Structure 1
Amino acid sequence: MDMKNAGSPGHGRLPDPVTAATAVVDARGIVTGWSTGAQRLLGYASEDVLGRPAAGLLGRGAGSPVDFSSAREEWRGTPPLRHRDGHDVGAEVRAYPSLDREGGAQWIVLATPSRQGPPRPPPRPYEAGASTEEAFAQCHLPVMIYDVELRAVRGSAGAVRALALTERQMRGRRVTDILPPHMCTKVEEGMRRVFDTGRPEQFEVRGRPHPEAHGRYWAVTVSPVRNTAGDVHQVQLIALDITELHLARERLALLNDVSAQVGSTLDVTHTAQEMADLAVGRLADFISVDLSDSLLRGFEPRPSGEGSIGLCRVAQQSVLPGVPESLVQPGDVDYYPASSPPARCLLTGRSSLHSTLDEAIGGWQAVDPERAAKVRSFGIHSIMVVPLRARGITLGVAVLVRHRRRHPFDDDDLLLAQEIAARTAVAVDNARRFTRERTTALALQRSLLPQRIADQDAVEVAHRYLPARSQAGLGGDWFDVIPLSGARVALVVGDVVGHGLRASATMGRLRTAVRTLADVDLPPDELLVHLDDLITRLRTEEGSTADSELDIVTDLIATCLYVVYDPVSRRCTAAAAGHPPPAVVTPDGTAAFVELSAGPPLGMGGLPFEAVEWEVPRGSLLALYTDGLIEAAEHDLDKGMALLLQRLEQPAHSLGAMCDDLVQTLLPAQPSDDVALLLARTRALEPGRVATWDLSSDPAAVAGARGEVSRRLADWGLDEAAFTTELIVSELVTNAIRYGGPPVQLRLIRGTALICEVTDSSSTAPHLRRARMLDEGGRGLMLVAQLADRWGTRHLPGGKAIWAEIGVPDGQP
C-alpha cells in the first residue's frame, strides 16, 4: 500500500499505531495490503491474505459482508474477526475511503482489539475446566509471547503483575520499551538465538521490572513456538523469580569460602582479617573485628563489666578505599561504653541487629560524638553486632555495617553473620592456643639456651637462634660456648630430631650432658661416644613416641658438632655425629669446609666417632650451624652449603652483622625448621703471656719453681696474686713429684684469669678428700680448692695435667 496515494481517513481520532492492525481492500473486496499489526492480531502472514477476499476474515455471526464497491463514506463497526487458529477476535473496525496509485477506489481498514472480546467458544468435550486460552491468561508466572519482530503478542496475569502493565499495553511493544537496557539486551539476544537455532535458551538476569519494584533475580527460559509447518514463528518467554534462591546460594557460597579460607594460618590477626576481607562487599559495607588484648598473648580473655571496655582492633575492611569509617587503626584499642551494643555483646555473648534509629544506637552515639559523626557522614543505616565465641568463651566482637546498600540487614543476614563469626572464632581460638603453646615452648627453648656467653680468651663469638614458624612447632636446635682448662674453649652446635616441647626438653638434657662431659675435659670423639650412650639409655627408658596431633615421630635421635680450640697452640680438634661440617674462613677471606667424618647421629649406637685436628691461623673465622640454615624449599643441601661459603667470604664490619647477613640471605621469611648459628673469631695468646718450665723429679725443685713463678708474676704486674699462686704451685708441683712420674712441667697462662698447670706422665688423677686429725697428708688439694676459683684434672695422651684458675685482682691487667 502506498500511503502517499491514500486519501485522508477523515478527521476522527486515529487508533494507536502500535497496537492497531491495518489492511487495504480494493473495490472488489480483495485484500491488497496487510500490516504487521494485522498479522499480530489475526495470525495471518501477508502471503496468506493478499489477493484473498476480505470477507473470509470475518468471524462467526458477523452478518452480511461489507460491500466495498458501493460505500462512499467512513464506516465503523465491531464485527468479530476470525483468527488463524479458528477463534473469534473482538475488534473495533473502521474503514476509510481512499484512492490507489491509478486513481481507483480502495479502502483503508483499521482494526483495534477491543478490551472485552466476544465469548470464547465452549470447551471441547474432552476439556475439563478452563480452556487453554483462559489458562494462559490466568497463569501466575510471568509468561510472554513474542513474534519474529520481538514484539509482544500475549502476556499472562503473572506478566501483568511483574511489569505493572496491562496486556493491552504490552502488546506490540518490544522488551526495550519495557525493561531497563541491561536486562532487555540479554533477553532480546536470547530470543534472537531461539529464532535462529530453534532451540530453547536459559539464562539469568538481574534488575527491576519497573521503576517502583525492588531489584530481583530472574531465571528466564525462552522456548520456540512452531506453526503447523514446523517453522518458528513465535517465542515463549517465562521468567521465574529466583531472588531468594540466589541469595541462599550467595550465603552458602560465602560460608563455604569462610570455611575454606579463614584460618589458613595459625595467626590470630591474619585469621580475623581473612574474615573481614571475605564478608565485606558480600554481606556488609564495613566490618571491624575487635579482640581482647590478652588473647593476642595466648591467654583466655576475662572481660570486666565495669566502665567502658577496651578491645584491640585486629582487623577491619570496607568497600571504600582506606577504610574511612574506622575511628582506630589495626593494633590500636577501641573503647566501648558499657551500655553500647558491642559491650553488651561481649558480656552476654548474644548478637543483636539494629537500625541507627534504635534507642540503643542513639544512646551509644550520645556518649560517643566522634562515632556519631561517622554514622552521619557515611549514611550508616543498619548495624549488626556479633560475638566471636568458641568453646564457651567470648573472644571478641565483630561489628558489621551497611551504608552503600539501600536494604537494611534482616534476620537471615544475622543468622549468616553468626555462622561466619562462629567459624572464625574457632579458627581464632586455634590460633590463640597455638600462640600460647608456641610462647611456652619458645620460653622453654630460650631458657635452655645460653643466656650469656662466658668470658674466655680463645675466641670472639656471635650467635643467632631462630625458632621454626611451621605448625609442627619449635625444634631442638642448640649451641653452646664452654670455657675449658688451659684457656681453651669448646664450641658446640646440635640438633634434636623432631619438634615440640619434647624436642626442646631433650635438647636441654643433651646440652647439660655436653657441659658435664666437657668439664671432664674429654676429647671430642670420646665425648660423643658418652653422649651417644646417654641417648641410647634414655631412649630405652622412655621408648619412641609420636605426637598424635602432628603425626611427627619424636624418637630420641640427635646430631652434634663438638669443636675444641686452643689459643696457645692455635689448633682445633673437632668430631661430628651426623652433623654438617664446620666452615673455616682464613684471614685472607677464603672459606672452606673442614673435611670431617660426620659419623652416625647420636642414638644410633655401636659406631665410633673420629676426631680431626688442624692448625688455625690467628684471626680465622669458625662457622658452626644446624641444617636449617642450609636446607630450604628453594634449593637443595649442596646449593645451600655453596651459598653459605659465598656469604662467609663477604666482608662484614662485625660478627653480629655477618650473622644477620647469613640469616637474611639463606633463610626464607618463614623458616620451616629451627636454625642455630655460631660464629667464632679465633684469638692467639702471645708468647709473652705463656710461661713454661721443665722441672726435675727432685723435691728441691719446688722452691725453684716458686721463685720462677714469683719473678714472672712481677714481670706481668701481678704481685698481688703472687702469694696465692706460689702456694698453689707449691702444692701442685709437690703432688706431681711425689705421686706422678717424670717429666714434670709447669705452665702459667695469663688471660682473663691466671692459669697454673702442672703435667706429669702418670695417668692417676688425684681426688679431693677431707684429711683426718692425725693424717700427715691429704690437705694439699683442699688448700688448692680453697684458694683457686676453679681447679681440675685433664687427661693427656701421655699422662695428665692438674690445673687451677686464680682470679686476677681488680685493676690488674
Structure 2
Amino acid sequence: MDSPREERDAPPFVGSRDLLDASSDAAAVLSSEGVVLGWTPGAEALLGCPAAEVVGRPATRLLAMRVDPARAAGVAERCRSGMGWSGLVPVRHRDGRTLDVDLRVSAAFRIEGHECFLLSGRERRPQWAMGQSVLDGFLTRSPIGMAVLDPELRYVWLNDTLERFGGVPREQRLGHRLSELLPGLQATTIEGLMRKVLATREPVTEYEYLGWSWADPRRQRAFSTSFFPLVDAGDSVTGVCYMVADVTERWNARQRLSLVNESATRIGTTLDVLRTAQELADFAVPRFADFVVVDLLEPVLSTEDHGTWLGDSPQAPAGPVMRRAALRSVRDGSPEALAHIGDPVDFLPPAHGIDLLINGEPVLIPELDPQDALWLAEQPERTARISEFGLHSLISVPMRARRTALGLTTFARSLNPVSFQPDDVLLAEELVARAAVCVDNARRYTREHRAAVTLQRSLLPQALTGGTALEVASSYLPADASDGVGGDWFDVIPLSGARVGLVVGDVVGHGLAAAASMGRLRTAVQTLADMELPPDELLAHLDDLVLRLGDEESGSAVPRDSTATFVGATCLYAVYDPVTRRCSMARAGHPPPVVVAPDGRAWFAELPAGPPLGLGGMAFEATEIELAENSLLGLYTDGLIEGADQDVERGMARLRAALADPGADLATLCTATVQQLVPVPQSDDIALLLTRTHALGADHVVSWDVPVDPAAVADLRARAARQVAEWGYDELAVTTELIVSELVTNAIRYAEPPIRLRLLRDSRLTCEVADASSTAPRLRHARNTDEGGRGLFLVAQLAHRWGARHTGEGKIIWAEQEIPSDRSGRG
C-alpha cells in the first residue's frame, strides 16, 4: 500500500484504549493473496456492502487509494512475524463516499492450511477541541455556582454565578472561609461536609438546605450543593470543589405539596363547622402565615339553607353578614384582630364587594401599604392594626363549596419577612378549598342531624300518662353527632278496661330515614293497639307491615343501598291490666324488660325473643307474668346496655343494679340510670321507659253474672245506676243505665253464656259485658222504617268511645264515659 496516514507497532489484537472495546468494529478475514474470505455484519454496516458482494473478491476494490505492492508485502511480512499492524486507511463506501478507517491487521494465522489475516477497524470521526476561552466562559458564566477551596477551606477560585448567589464580592471571598463570610448560610454544616470529603475522598452530592442571601435578604432561598475532592497527578488531595444550584422553586413546590397532603389529615376531623374553621387557621399558622382569620356567613353558622348565592343566582343578599368563625396568630391573644370568635365582621379587602364572595378570585397584596388611601378610607381601624403589627403581605380567598358561598379566609404575614407570591395563592386556594368542603359537609350534616332530632322528638310522645294503672317516666338521648340520630321510640297507649299498652322499639339505621320509619311504626302500633290485638298478634301484623314497606321501597326507584330504604326494626309490646295485675308481652328481636319487685329484687322477664321485624316467616309468642303492686317495669333499647365494652350481658347487669332502688322517685331514677349507663362515645340512641304498677282495688270494680233472661235486664240496670251513684257520679247514672241496657240486651239475644257485666272506675267509667261468643257486633245506621238496629248507635252516641276485644273465653263489649273533672279524683 502507499504510505498510510498512521502506522504503529502493536501486538496481536492489542493497541490503544479504543481497541479494548471492539464490540462495534468492522471485521474481515483476508487470504495471503488479498481475497476476502470472511465478512461480518459490522463490516457491512461500515461500508454498506453485503457479504455476497465482497466475499471471494479482492479486498483492493474496497480501498480509496492505490496499493503499493512493496508496501503491502512489507505489512504482510510484519504480520507473519507476529507483530501486527495498525494505521489510518481510506476506504470506499458502497455509495461512493470515502471513509477514514482506523485499521488493525492481526498476526498471520492459518485456517485449513491457508495463511490468513484478520482485519478490524472503525471510522475515525473528527473530535471537537475546546479552547481555553470556551472553558473559561463556561466556568464563569455557568448557571451553576462553582468554587475551589484549598485544604484549609479558603476560597481559591469561584465563578460569577456563585458570587451572585451569595451576594459577597469575589475579592472579599478569596483567601477566606465560608464561615467567615456567610455565617447564616449553614456555614458550619457545609464546612463539615467539605472536611469529610477531604478526609474520605468520597463526594457528597445534592445536599439541600435553606439560607438567606445578601443579594436578597428578604427572601429565603433553597440550594442544592455537591462537593468533590481535587486530586493531583501524584494522587494527593489538593482541595475541594463544590457546585451550587438554586432550587428554590423546586423546594417551594415540594413544600406546598407536603402542606396540601398534610392538610388533608389535619383539617375536617370533625363534623363541626366552627371546629373545622379553627383547624384551618391552626394549620396555616405558622406554616404558611403569621395571622389567619376565617369569617363565615351567618346562615352557614346557623346551618340554615341559604341557597347557592353564586353569580348566576337571581337573588343575592345586599351585603355580607359574616361572623368570625376562627382566629389564629403567632402572637399570643391575636392582638392583630379587631373582632374575635362569634363577633360580627364586615371585612372585605378594598375595593371589593360581595361579588368577591360569590364569584370573585383570590386577592393577593404582596406589599400591604398602611398608607394606602383606599384602605385608610374603607378600613381605618384595620389599617391602624396593620401598621402597628407590621402586617406587610395579604391573601384573601373566598370560601366556596358546591356552588355555595360560605365566607372568606384571610392570610397575612408580619414576622415572616417574605412577601406572598403568586404561587402562594395556589396553596392558599387549595387549603381553603379543602376546608370549604369540610365546612359545607359539617353544615349539611348538622342541619340534617338537627332536622332528624327535631323530627324524632316530634314523633315521640310529648306527654305520657298511664292513668291510675301506671306511674310513667321516660328518657331519650340521641346519638352523638358523629353517628347521627337513630330510630328509637317508646309509647304508652291507654286501652279499654283501664289497661295500658307499653311499647319500645328501635329502627335500624340513623338519620332522617330512620326517624321517619320510626314515626310510621309508632303510628302503626297505636292503630293495631286500638284494635285490641294481643301482643303476639300485634307484632305479627307489624312484621307484615315492615315487609310490605321493604318490598315497596326495593321495587321503587330508591337504590337498595340508599339510607332511605326500610331495612328492619326491633320491638317489644306489653299490656298491663291493673285489675288482675297481670302483664302480657311479646318481643321481636328486642332485649327483654327488666322487672324490679317492691323489695328490690330485680330480674329480666323470660319470654321468647322472636325474630326482628322485617324477616317474616316466624311466629311471635306472648308470655304473661303477674306483677305485685308497686313493681318496677323497665323497657329500653339496646343502646343503653351495649356500653363502651359492647358486652350486652354486663350491660344488663349494670342496668339491673342501677334500678335496684324501686322506692326512688321514678323520674329521678330514670334520668340517673341513663346518665350512669350512657357509653362514651355514644354511638346509638338511648331510650328508657320506666313504669311503676298500681292495682285497681275492690272499691273500683264491681261485676254481676247475667242470667240468660230478658227480664234480668231491668235489675242489672238498676244495680248499675245505684253503684254509679255510690261512686258519686249521679250525673252519669242515666247514661249508664241506657248503656247497660243495650249491651246486656244484645248479649242475651245474640251471644253465648256465660255472660257477665262489669263496671270499672278509673280515669273513666267503663261498662263491660263479657260473653262466650267470638262474634263481634257491628255498628249499623238504622233507617227511619227499621224497627230496631239502633242499640249500638245509641251506645256510640252516649259513650266517649266503645269497642270490642277478644279474649281466650270469647269477647268483651265495652263502653267508656268521661268522668267530670271535679269528680275524677274521688275514691
Q: Same fold (TM over 0.5)?
A: yes
Equivalent residue for 1:558? 569
**Whole-angstrom distance in 2 between the partners of 1:687 and 1:149:** 116
Query: Equivalent residue for 2:693?
Result: 682
Give the secondary-structure state (helix, strand or coil) at the position aligned to 1:130: helix
State which of 305, 323, 327 in structure 2 corresponds to 1:299.
305
* 2:543–2:613 CA contact under 8 A, matched in 1: yes
1:706 aligns with 2:717: yes
Partner of 1:486: 497
1:207 is the counterpart of 2:211? yes
Equivalent AA in structure 1 for residue 255 of structure 2: E
Deviation at 1:747, TM superposition (A): 2.3
State the Cα distance separating 1:807 from its structure 2 match. Answer: 0.9
Partner of 2:29: none
Deviations 1:715-748 (A, max 9, x none): 4332333332232223223332332233332322
1:648–1:255 Cα change, 3 Å: same
In the alignment, the residues of structure 2 paired with residue 747 and residue 717 of structure 1 have an alpha-carbon distance, to the nearest angstrom, of 17
Alignment of 1:152-231 (within 5 A): 152-180=155-183, 183-201=186-204, 202-210=206-214, 213-214=217-218, 215-231=220-236
Post-superposition offset of 1:480: 1.8
Q: Secondary structure at the match of 1:154?
A: strand
Instruction: Give the drift of 1:701.
Output: 3.3
Q: Is the 8 A contact 2:493 2:502 kept in 1?
A: yes
In structure 2, distance between residues paired with 1:533 and 1:255: 53
CA drift of 1:544 comes to 6.4
* Alpha-carbon contact 2:546-2:566 (below 8 Å) kept: no
Native 8 Å contact 1:461 1:678 kept in 2? yes
**AA paired with 1:150?**
L
Q: How far does residue 485 in structure 1 lie from its aligned partner after superposition?
A: 0.9
Give 2:113's aligned residue.
Answer: none
Query: Which of 599, 602, 605 is 2:613 aligned to?
Result: 602
2:429 equivalent in structure 1: 418
Matching residue of 1:387: 398
* CA distance in structure 1 between the partners assigned to 2:556 and 2:238 by the alignment: 79
The answer on whether the counterparts of 2:553 and 2:565 sit within 8 Å (CA) in structure 1 is no
Asked whether 1:354 is paired with 2:365, we answer yes
CA–CA distance in structure 2, aligned partners of residues 683 and 783 of structure 1: 33
Q: Cα deviation per residue 1:398-423 (whole Å; 9 max; x = unaligned)?
A: 12222222233232222322233233
Identify unmatched segments of 5+ residues in structure 1: 1-123
Matches within 5 A, 1:622-641: 622-631=633-642, 634-641=645-652
1:699-718 per-residue CA deviation (whole Å, 9 max, x = no partner) reads 34333333333343334332
Aligned ranges 1:429-448 → 2 under 5 Å: 429-448=440-459
1:571 aligns with 2:582: yes
Q: 2:529 maps to which residue?
A: 518
CA distance in 1, matches of 2:560, 2:541: 33
- Given that residues 293 and 410 in structure 2 are in contact (C-alpha distance below 8 angstroms), is that contact kept between their aligned partners in structure 1? yes
Give the aligned length: 690
Offset of 1:632 from its aligned partner?
A: 5.4
Per-residue displacement from partner, 1:356-392 (whole Å, max 9, x unpaired)? Answer: 8669975455455544443343232333222112333
Give the match for residue 63 of structure 1.
Answer: none
Matched, 1:377 2:384: no
Aligned to 1:529: 540
CA RMSD of aligned residues (A): 3.3
Which runs of no fewer than 5 residues in structure 2 stay unpaired? 1-126, 310-314
Is contact 2:513-2:563 (8 Å) kept?
A: no
Separation in 1, partners of 2:298, 2:696: 54
Q: Secondary structure at the match of 2:774?
A: coil
Aligned equivalent of 2:751: 740
Q: 1:268 aligns with which of 266, 273, 278?
A: 273
The code of the aligned residue for 2:212 comes to R
Q: Secondary structure of 1:276's partner?
A: helix
Looking at structure 1, the residues matched to 669 and 351 of structure 2 have their Cα atoms a distance apart, in angstroms, of 54
Say yes or no: does 1:761 pair with 2:764: no
Amino acid at match of 1:589: G
Residue in 2 that maps onto 1:72: none
Letter in 2 for 1:273: Q
Deviations 1:207-235 (A, max 9, x none): 22448634322223223333445454422
Give the letter aligned to residue 320 of structure 1: R
Structure-2 separation of matches of 1:715 and 1:463: 37
Residues 658, 549 of structure 1: alpha-carbon distance in 2 compared, 3 angstrom cutoff: farther
280, 286, 291: which one pairs with 1:281?
286
Aligned to 2:410: 399
Identity of aligned residues (%): 49
Label 1:384 to 1:666 Cα distance change in 2 as closer, same or farther (>3 A).
Answer: same
CA distance in 2, matches of 1:772, 1:455: 41
Q: Deviations over 1:257-297 (max 9, x none)?
A: 33444334443333323322222212222222222222332
Match of 1:811 in 2: 822
Cα-to-partner distance string for 1:746-793 (whole Å, 9 max, x where unaligned): 322222222222222222211111122243332221121112111111
Contact 1:788 1:806 survives alignment (8 Å)? yes
Between 668-677 and 585-594, the greater mean CA deviation after superposition: 668-677
Q: Which amino acid aligns with 2:489?
A: W
**CA distance change for structure 1 residues 125 and 735 in 2, over 3 Å: closer, same or farther?**
closer
- The one-letter code of the counterpart of 1:795 is H
* Paired AA for residue 597 in structure 1: P
Aligned ranges 1:101-180 → 2 under 5 Å: 126-130=129-133, 135-180=138-183
Contact 1:341/1:385 (8 A) holds in 2: no
Letter in 1 for 2:209: V
Matches within 5 A, 1:70-89: none
Aligned partner of residue 605 in structure 1, secondary structure: coil
CA distance in 2, matches of 1:579, 1:125: 92
User: Partners in 2 of 1:294 and 1:515 — Cα distance?
Assistant: 39
In 1, Cα distance between the equivalents of 2:132 and 2:234?
30
Please give the TM-score of this superposition, normalised by the length of structure 2: 0.76
Is the alpha carbon distance of 1:268 and 1:804 closer, same or farther for their aligned partners in structure 2, counting shifts above 3 Å? same
Task: Please report how far the alpha carbon of residue 513 of structure 1 lies from its aligned counterpart in structure 2 after TM superposition.
Answer: 2.0
Pair 1:244-2:249 in alignment: yes
For residues 547 and 475 of structure 1, the distance between their equivalents in structure 2, rounded to whole angstroms, comes to: 20
SS of aligned partner of 2:544: helix
Please tell me whether the aligned partners of residues 340 and 360 of structure 1 are also in contact (alpha carbons under 8 angstroms): no
Change (3 A) 1:339 1:746: farther
Kindly indicate whether the alpha-carbon contact (under 8 Å) linking 1:498 and 1:554 is maintained by their aligned counterparts in 2. Answer: no
Once the two structures are superposed, residues 538-567 of structure 1 have per-residue CA deviations (whole angstroms, 9 ceiling, x without a partner) of 444443689769666945432211111122
- TM-score for both structures, normalised by structure 1: 0.77
- Give, as a single letter, the amino acid of the residue that structure 2 aligns with 1:216: R
Match of 2:13 in 1: none
